Amino acid sequence: MTIEIVVYNIESARKAQEGGADRIELCDNPGEGGTTPSYGTIEVVRQHVSLDVFVMIRPRGGDFHYDSYEFHAMKRDISQCQKLSVDGVVFGIVNPDGTIDKKRCKELIDKARPLKVTCHRAFDMTRDPFEALEDCIEAGFDRILTSGHQTQAVKGIDLITELIKRANGRIAIMPGSGVNENTVEEIVSKSGAKEIHFSATSSRNSAMIYRNEKIAGMGSDEGSEFKLRTVDPERVKKMRVLAEKAAGR
C-alpha cells in the first residue's frame, strides 16, 4: 500500500515523513485546492525529506483550462522541478468541452520525463470518466488521483472500483478527497486500490506572543495568523495500519 500525503508547507512535509508516508504531494494554497509552491519551498523540502516528492503544477486556482501564458508557466515550473531533483509532478488540463486536453498534457508529460506524472482531480471535472481514463493513458500519465467524480472518494467508490477494473494495470488509480480514519477501510476494501491519498491534517498554535487580535487572516475572514496548518504523524501511522488491514481482506 502506497501512502501519499498532500502537504502545504515545509513542516507538514517533515511531519509526513515522520509518520511513515511513502510520498508527498507538495502544494501551496489549500483554500484553492492546491497551486504550485515556491521554488524555495520545493528546494528546502527536497533537502530535508528522503521520501518521494511530487510537486503540484497548477498556475492558479479555478478551472483546469489554461491559456498559452499559463501553459508556458507550467512548462517553466516543470523545468525548475527537474533542476530541484523532485521525483514527480502533478497536473491536469481540461478542454472547454470537458475532455482531457491530450495534446498539451502529453507535451508536459514528455517534458517532465523521467519524472513520474500524476493527473490530479482535474480528472473529476471531465464529462465522461471512462473517456478521460483512456485519454490519460494515451497521454502517458502514470496515475490518476480521483474522488470518483464526487465531492468525496467514499461517495465515488463504485466508479473508482470500475476505473481500477478498466485500467487493468495500465495506469494507477489513487482515491483521494475526504479519505480519513472513518472512510479508508471501506474505500480500500471495496475498490482494491493500491495507493491512497489524504491530508492527515492537524493544526498548532502560533509561537507568537504578541498578537493583534483586531486582524485575522490579514483582513480576510478565511484564516488566522495564529493557527498554523500541519500534518499529524500519528494519523499517518494509523491510516497506514487501517489501509493495509483493508487491503489484506
Mean pLDDT, the chain, whole residue set? 95
| pTM exceeds 0.75 | yes
Instruction: Tell me the average pLDDT across 46-52.
Output: 97
Top-confidence residue, 21 or 217 = 21
Judged against a pLDDT cut of 70, whether residue 222 lies above it is answered with no
Q: Which three cell numbers stand for residue 116?
A: 513520474
4, β-bridge pairs: 23, 197
- Domain locations along the chain: 2-200+233-247
Q: Rounded to whole angstroms, how far apart are CA atoms 101 and 107?
A: 10
Q: How sure is the predictor about 184, in pLDDT bands with cuts at 50, 70 and 90?
A: very high
pLDDT in tens, 187-204: 999 999 999 999 999 999
> Which helix (H) or strand (E) element contains residue 88?
strand 88-91
C-alpha radius of gyration, the chain, whole number: 18
Q: Rounded to whole angstroms, how far apart are CA atoms 226 and 228?
A: 6
Instruction: Tell me the average pLDDT across 38-52.
Output: 98
pLDDT in tens, 102-150: 999 999 999 999 999 999 999 999 999 999 999 999 999 999 999 999 9
pLDDT in tens, 65-86: 999 999 999 999 999 999 999 9
User: Quick one: pLDDT at residue 151?
Assistant: 96
Judged against a pLDDT cut of 70, whether residue 223 lies above it is answered with no
Q: How sure is the predictor about 165, in pLDDT bands with cuts at 50, 70 and 90?
A: very high
Q: Which three cell numbers stand for residue 49?
A: 525529506
Q: Which three cell numbers stand for residue 101?
A: 486536453
Q: Rounded to whole angstroms, how far apart are CA atoms 233 and 119?
A: 26
- For residues 48 and 74, the answer to whether their CB atoms sit within 8 Å is no
Q: Which CATH superfamily is domain 2-200+233-247 in?
A: Copper homeostasis (CutC) domain (3.20.20.380)
User: Quick one: pLDDT at residue 54?
Assistant: 98
Comparing CA positions, the residue from 194, 204, 197 lying closest to residue 228 is 204
Judged against a pLDDT cut of 80, whether residue 246 lies above it is answered with yes
